Amino acid sequence: MSAYDKRLTPARPDLAAETLRGIVDAPRYVAGEERIIFDGSADLRRAPVPDAPLDTEALHGEIFTVYDQDEEGWSWGQLKRDGYVGFMPSKALTQDIAIPTHRVHVLRSFLFGGPSIKLPPMATLSMGSRVAIMGTKDQFAITHRGHYVIADHLKPIDTTESDFVAVAERFIGIPYFWGGKTSLGLDCSGLVQVSLDAAGIAVPRDTDMQEKAVGEPLPLDAELRRGDLIFWKGHVGIMRDAHELLHASGHQMLVVCEPLSVAVQRIESKGAGSITSIRRLKR
């Protein structure tokens, strides 16, 4: 097991995914059953307790393959979108799976039980949430479950943003939240993942994964441009232009834009080291 990344490998001492048979040793292999996230977002935690470390959040409409459920209300499994493995509250999941047709393209929207904005929202849908739309009524799009969302807040699933940096800029001022991926709070790699997802680019969840997988490496003294990703150990930011860094900062506890030189000096002064790499996406 030590050769595999536990964050991305659905295997435990007592069981493993059927797809890992012959790859990892386990006393039991489970095929798993797909569920869909119904809540606006759902916590994926390292252990089946509410105060366990939050590794990431899943958004409404994401698929989660369940390999095990306990009597305490936790499901253990793997997110389909980025492969992250962990424990999720079972109540956040439903078997009512439909192929999504649209995604939320604004920072956040509401899901209503009927065609009225005066109704109490059933869920808050953050950017990147997926829904299956079956029709429209007035200003609303109607989901396959008969719920309602503002139609102008959605775009067809295959419509992507042309500038992922412009997407990230919408999050300026949003609080920093470790493990977060929503407009209520997100971390540095979550900002990168959500912004690139809006542009139709799937990337891994964590900073170290992104540093290995996203784009092409540049020399550390390269002339920077908009969209370049700057990596430190445990941190990532997006260049807004040749000089300004956009990132979810654990120092300011906000998504901020500041001169790269200022961020570099501060991060080094705190003992977090120098820039480890620069990555540029292909165009």
CB burial of 207-243 (b: ≥16 within 10 Å; e: otherwise) equals: bbbbbeebbeebeeeeebeebbbbbbeebbbbbbeee
- How many domains does the chain divide into? 3
Looking at the DSSP bridge assignments, the partners of residue 184 are: none
* 2 in any annotated domain: no
Judge whether 235 lies within some domain: yes
The predicted pLDDT at position 177 comes to: 98
Task: Say if residues 207 and 236 touch (Cβ distance below 8 Å).
Answer: yes
What range does the domain containing 138 cover?
Answer: 102-156
Domain boundary among 94, 112, 134: 94
Averaged confidence pLDDT in the chain: 96
Instruction: State yes or no: pLDDT of 69 exceeds 50.
Output: yes
Q: What is the CATH number of the domain that holds 204?
A: 3.90.1720.10
pLDDT at 2: 47
Q: Is-contact 168 98, C-beta < 8 A?
A: no
Domain ends where: 47, 74, 94? 94
> H-type helices in 123-187, by residue range?
164-169
Question: Over the stretch 140-175, which tens digit does the pLDDT of each residue have?
Answer: 999 999 999 999 999 999 999 999 999 999 999 999
Return the pLDDT at 282. 84
Question: Do 34 and 131 fall into the same domain?
Answer: no
Residues in the chain: 283
Same domain? 216 vs 269:
yes
Q: Are residues 232 and 262 in the same domain?
A: yes
Nearest to 55 by CA among 234, 177, 205, 179: 179
Task: Determine, yes or no, domain membership for 89.
Answer: yes
Q: Are residues 171 and 276 in the same domain?
A: yes
Has residue 266 been placed in a domain? yes
pTM for this entry: 0.95
CA–CA separation, 254 vs 173, rounded Å? 6
Residues 106 and 75 in one domain: no
The predicted structure's pLDDT at residue 4: 87
Cα separation, 203 vs 169, whole angstroms? 19
Q: Please state the rounded mean pLDDT for residues 171-184.
A: 97
Distance CA 234, CA 206 (A): 8
Mean pLDDT of 37-43: 96
> pLDDT tens, 255-282?
999 999 999 999 999 999 999 999 999 8
Are residues 20 and 83 part of one domain?
Answer: yes
CB 176 within 8 A of CB 255: yes
Does 199 lie in the same domain as 276?
yes
6 inside domain: no
Same domain, 131 and 221: no
